[in-house]
Structure 1
Amino acid sequence: MAEEHVVNSSPAPVPVPGGKTIEECEEMIRKSFRNPMVKFLKEHLQQAGCSFKDNFIKAVNCDKPIGGGYVNGEGIMVCSNHMRMQDQVNQVVIHELIHAYDDCRAANLNWTNCAHHACSEIRAGHLSGDCHYKRELLRGYMKIRGHEQDCVKRRVMESVMANPNCSKEAAKDAMEAVWDICYNDTQPFDRAP
């Protein structure tokens, strides 16, 4: 049996009281399927021959301060207890669908390999809108120029360092080694949205 690895790729905002119940979050996940970016990614997953079952995206309660994750071979989890708004659920779903797309299209993707993990995190951070300047302002980052790449790098480091196979140094080296090729890989989009 293949080793299961959770990609803790959607750092949650600071955990807050008032997170959603699993049932509320499941309804928010259903609503996310109306989002054009979610529809686009779902269609491209299916066109690539990837399975997308009804229970591919699940609401769960999470102990760790993450917004969600992707489990290869199982699907996407959204941490209901860390979600407050529909936009947060949409962002987690979009980010994790990019990981699912990467996992499907790359026959040899190994989530325990720091460079493989970093590459998918770079793509998800860059293509999902996680690092849009308005989101960064809400997080307290006020940089006007170069904010998007700085944000992607910061979030890649958070996620890859959470991988038990990657030290801080290994995460940084992996990110730097794959940055150019992965940042410029916009598949399934023609260009970065």
Structure 2
Amino acid sequence: MSKEEASKPLSASDASQGFNWWIRTLKYKTGISLTDQEKLAYEQENKVKTELDQCAKCNEYKNFMLQYSPTVTFMIDQINQVGGYVDPDKLKCEICTIPRYGGYNPGMGVQLCANYIDNKWVLNDTLSHELVHWYDNTRFKVDWGDIRHHACSEIRAASLSGECALVTEFKRRLGFLRYAKGHQECVKRKASLSVINHPACKDKEHADEVVEEVFRSCFNDTRPFETIYR
């Protein structure tokens, strides 16, 4: 813009447009005098922006863990060693319609729920959990239609991912036996919460029964780890 152009007074049209923009911005920020249509458009615009921000942050966390997380990098290596391959494009940050951190599908890979994962440590545990499922599916050929197979993998994933780990301070104060018991109870609870969504599961009581039935053998199988990660 030249000095001459900058010094020219605004036309009535330009001034009107500027004023209207200011009024519209003020209305959006305060919510005052918005029509129902304007409110809907504003809410939709904010929703899209929020979801884009959530997915961007989720991908940032994911990329960090793919590079630096001992559990995530170890599990990916172990999956490769048993004949599988973790395609980075199949580790997807998405907006989930039901409250959960993530999920695993043998054909589609891992879903990471960007709108529920609020920090990189939650993503680390979630991705580690789902990679245990991926490992089980590759190594043991899991029949996901069999509720006991499903329960077994959920037990292993909850135990080995680190999501049921207790802080060192708790371990020191409570003692090993109570710590170990607390870990197992956490694993059972999380496994049951997943199994209850299986098509063959009747109710929570049924989920608890199935988890209890297979718990000992599945909990004691720590492959590919030498011991339980806590």
TM-score range, shorter chain: 0.7 to 0.9
Q: Deviations over 1:29-78 (max 9, x none)?
A: 11111101111101000111112112121101111110000011221011
Q: Which residue of 1 aligns with 2:94?
A: 60
1:169 is displaced (CA, Å) by: 3.6
Q: Which residue of 2 aligns with 1:152?
A: 187
- 5+ unaligned residues in a row in structure 2: which ranges? 1-49
- C-alpha RMSD of the superposition: 2.0
Q: Deviations over 1:129-157 (max 9, x none)?
A: 1111249x8xxxxx872211111111111
Structure (1 or 2) with the greater strand fraction: 1
CA distance in 2, matches of 1:27, 1:133: 26
Name the larger-Rg structure: 2
Q: Which residue of 2 aligns with 1:38?
A: 72
1:26 is displaced (CA, Å) by: 1.2
- 5+ unaligned residues in a row in structure 1: which ranges? 1-17, 138-142
Q: For residues 109-128 of structure 1, what are the structure 2 equivalents within 5 Å?
A: 109-128=142-161
**Equivalent of residue 87 in structure 1, options 116, 121, 130:** 121
Other structure's SS at 1:82 match? coil
1:83 is displaced (CA, Å) by: 1.3
Structure (1 or 2) with the greater helix fraction: 2
1:182 is displaced (CA, Å) by: 0.3
CA distance in 2, matches of 1:83, 1:172: 26
Q: Which residue of 1 aligns with 2:61?
A: 28
| Identity percentage of aligned residues | 36
- Following TM superposition, where does structure 1 have runs of at least 4 consecutive aligned residues deviating by more than 6 angstroms? none
168-177 or 67-76, larger mean C-alpha shift: 168-177
Highest RCO, 1 vs 2 (Cα 8 Å, sep ≥ 6): 1
CA distance in 1, matches of 2:114, 2:206: 31
TM-score (norm 2): 0.69
Match for 2:148: what amino acid?
Answer: A
